[in-house]
């Protein structure tokens, strides 16, 4: 049946001579694999430019009730980007976030709250004119809420002595009896990131070293709570660009 849905492009790869298969997180159907025939043909209406990481698209496709490869009739940009493709810092962040989504999202059912969060966050990255180099850290923090391992935030301002237990996903005044934890003062910054919204990135004021340590801490946290999460191909490029 021919259906139309909004979607977020996560990944695509070549298929046959002139076609591609695209992984798209959709509003109506969750994660789907779409076959776009002739997309690498210059005369095709299905432009390859629509398949850049995190592109916000509208897809008209023949959806089968059984899971599998869905055939696209047409694809177009729902909200064209203003800056992500033209800003190397933002585009590096976009590639990184897309890989995080590729490794994290497996569900093939609609999840409106997750879709709305992603759709909104991507637009924030595109429209933000300054203080966006910490976007990926805030994204990892708030995305954890939708994945089910957002930490319980302590109701106190006395955070300077907090440790963060990576296994249990909680801040604690006591050092855990294992090695999977973050100690002060990095744990204090970790706490601050979780408590910062996308519209308040200027409040973080992180330096290059802190940003790298926090990113490694977040990736350790994700690796403990998600299976097959390691070996991010975009990590080196992201760190090189932001440094």
Give me the pLDDT at residue 128, please. Answer: 94
Q: What is the mean pLDDT of the chain?
A: 90
Could you tell me if 70 and 63 are in contact, meaning their C-beta atoms sit under 8 angstroms apart?
A: yes
pLDDT at 210 over 90: yes
Give whole-number Cα distances, 111 to 6, 29, 118, in Å: 13, 8, 11
Give me the pLDDT at residue 50, please. Answer: 87
What pLDDT, in 10s, does the model give residues 115-137?
999 999 999 999 999 999 999 99
pLDDT band at 187 (very low <50, low <70, confident <90, very high): very high
Give me the pLDDT at residue 231, please. Answer: 87
Peptide bond just before 81 cis, omega within 30 deg: no
The residues facing 26 across adjacent strands are 7, 30
Structural domains in the chain? Answer: 2-79 (2.40.50.140), 84-242 (1.20.1440.120)
Give me the pLDDT at residue 118, please. Answer: 98
pLDDT at 157 over 60: no
pLDDT at 149 over 60: yes
What pLDDT, in 10s, does the model give residues 194-203?
989 998 888 8
Could you tell me if 89 and 133 are in contact, meaning their C-beta atoms sit under 8 angstroms apart?
A: yes
Beta carbons within 8 Å of 236's beta carbon, 6+ residues apart: none
Could you tell me if 103 and 228 are in contact, meaning their C-beta atoms sit under 8 angstroms apart?
A: yes
What pLDDT, in 10s, does the model give residues 221-235?
999 999 989 889 999
pLDDT at 8 over 60: yes
Give me the pLDDT at residue 46, please. Answer: 55
pTM reported for the whole predicted model: 0.93
What pLDDT, in 10s, does the model give residues 63-86?
887 667 899 999 999 999 999 999
Mean pLDDT to the nearest integer, 138-161? 83
Give me the pLDDT at residue 43, please. Answer: 63
Mean pLDDT to the nearest integer, 169-173? 89
């Amino acid at each position: 049946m021919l259906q139309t849905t909004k979607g977020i492009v996560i990944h695509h790869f070549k298929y046959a001579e002139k076609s591609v298969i695209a992984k798209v997180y959709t509003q109506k159907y969750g994660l789907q694999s779409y076959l776009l025939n002739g997309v690498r043909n210059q005369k095709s209406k299905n432009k390859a430019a629509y398949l850049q990481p995190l592109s916000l698209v509208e897809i008209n496709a023949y959806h089968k009730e059984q899971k599998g490869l869905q055939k696209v009739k047409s694809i177009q940009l729902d909200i064209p980007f203003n800056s992500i493709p033209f800003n190397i810092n933002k585009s590096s962040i976009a590639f990184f976030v897309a890989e995080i989504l590729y490794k994290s999202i497996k569900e093939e059912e609609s999840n409106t709250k997750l879709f709305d969060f992603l759709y909104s966050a991507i637009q924030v990255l595109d429209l933000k004119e300054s203080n966006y180099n910490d976007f990926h850290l805030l994204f990892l923090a708030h995305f954890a809420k939708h994945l089910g391992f957002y930490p319980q935030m302590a109701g106190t301002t006395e955070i300077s002595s907090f440790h963060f237990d990576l296994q249990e996903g909680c801040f604690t005044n006591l050092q855990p009896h294992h090695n999977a934890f973050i100690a002060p003062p990095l744990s204090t910054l970790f706490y601050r990131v979780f408590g910062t919204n996308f519209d308040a990135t200027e409040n973080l004021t992180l330096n290059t070293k802190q940003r790298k340590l926090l990113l490694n801490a977040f990736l350790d946290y994700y690796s403990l709570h998600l299976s097959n999460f390691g070996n991010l191909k975009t990590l080196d490029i992201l760190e090189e660009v932001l440094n």
